[in-house]
A and B are shown apart, each in its own frame.
Chain A
Amino acid sequence: MPDLRATLGRLRLCNPTVLASGTVGYGPEYASLIDYTTVGAIVTKTITPEPRAGNAPPRLKETPGGLLNAIGLENVGLERFLSEKLREVATVPAALIASVAGFTVNEYAELTGAVTAREEIDAVELNISCPNVERARRPVWDDPEAVAEITRAARATTEKTLLLKLSPNTADILSVAEAGEAAGADALVVANTLSGMRIDVEAGTPSLGNTTGGLSGRALLPVNLANVWKIAGSVSIPIVGSGGIADPGDALEYILAGASAVQIGTALFADPEAPGRIVDGLAEYMRAHDIESIEGCTGLARKEKEREWQRTTAD
């Protein structure tokens, strides 16, 4: 059996599949359909300091090869998460990563400290990249200084694995990634959804209640794959690829580009058995290519590219 184990900071995963935040709720909602023993970890719905009702509907709009969503970080808030939901989350037989989002640097620190203090939670994912929440003109995910500040503050509160989820809605994702690494993130999730919208021409209004939303699904794969490629050449912490992964081949593309693990999200809606199928496909690929550990796959396509580059410059 090929070795599928993945390492993100202090977090050890039985395999490199992680279920993306927002797609499995707090976990138990999907327990009858997803076999959680087949996944490395799940990421909870993003938790904010106070409860949030979320955006006005419609919150979903399917689009060719993808899905636009504008949920608006609907969640029960930190207090109810800890007192009520955590018990349910803990029933999930996979590593548990809590996703958190604050509106100030302090809030990120407080949230991170509060959730990682609980033994049920194995790691935290800083959501700095939700495109569906109103903010100042310059969003935080586009500002390396702000991201560094948030990451540093959160880092100071925990020794557990700190993941930073980047946004593709920036011209310079590399600077944000480097700022996150320098500020102490253990791993980078590359990346969140891409901002987009559709219009219902009969109603003459935007399709989503929030006007714009985040694009996920297969249409997003080439975009975030290029982001992983770009970042993997410049940072040394592990990358978790995310965006449009539905099949083993999709996951492998991210891994060969430089990711150490992958997140699966939107694909679960059509196929709750996708994670198990992907894990089986990864093992099959490794056997076929005589690769002993999945870690050995990370960045393989880069090495090919570098060798090619060395050959051409040597000539």
Chain B
Amino acid sequence: MSTAARTATPLARRILASPSMVYIYVVLAILTIWVVLSSLGSVPPVLLPTLGETLQQLAAIVSDPETLFANVGATAAEVTLAFAFAAVAGVALGVVVGSRTDYSRAYEPLLANLNAIPIVLLYPLLLGAMGSGGEAKVVIGAISAGLPIAIATHWAVRGVDRDLVVAARSMGARRLSTVRSVTLPAVLPGVFSGLRTGLSLAIVTVVAGEFLSATVGLGLQLARAGESFQTAALFAWLIVTAVFTAVMIGLLSVIQTLVIRKVNA
């Protein structure tokens, strides 16, 4: 029925409502506003460079792949490490706290309240203790990402329909096959939504840490360009950072699809 309804809609509406087309509209809209604003001259160029200048800067960045990959690679390594710690610890913590009503009642508020604290505030402390290498960023990134992952996992575990577990038992399932065939598929969507939030936070936190103090990384490049009023370079590095973020989130989506397909097979 849904396919019939979709084919019956007019072509224009089908294009408007296509998920992949939405990205194209949004990017086109942003570019249009950008070009209009900068050509009107009402915004000073130091605040808003022209599209042409920005593309030139972007070309300069891309033409020096060594610098580009050194910076992207440093940020990617920190984000990946922070996210990996956060994913393992957050999922484990969420499963433990979510597995029992009394644990959940005792510890879920703690996790929620910790999560409400902006962990980046700890940067001055950690940068002082650990220096401007990657360590402080990995630690703060892992804490920032780990809490939402733990909370999402906790709710996913709490939310498993008891009826489905009882039904499995009535059909003769042992504990291990119940976990494998009922609990795991039931919690995966919730866990992955926590992982996505966690990954975004890990990226934000690591890049923000590089703003403050770093020897290499996307955040450092953004800070340098901003502080020296090279707005076109700043915009070019922003574009690089946006692409980097999209690739990381995209990779996680691919992993999610593969894992869910494997578990539900």
Note whether A and B form a binding pair. Answer: no
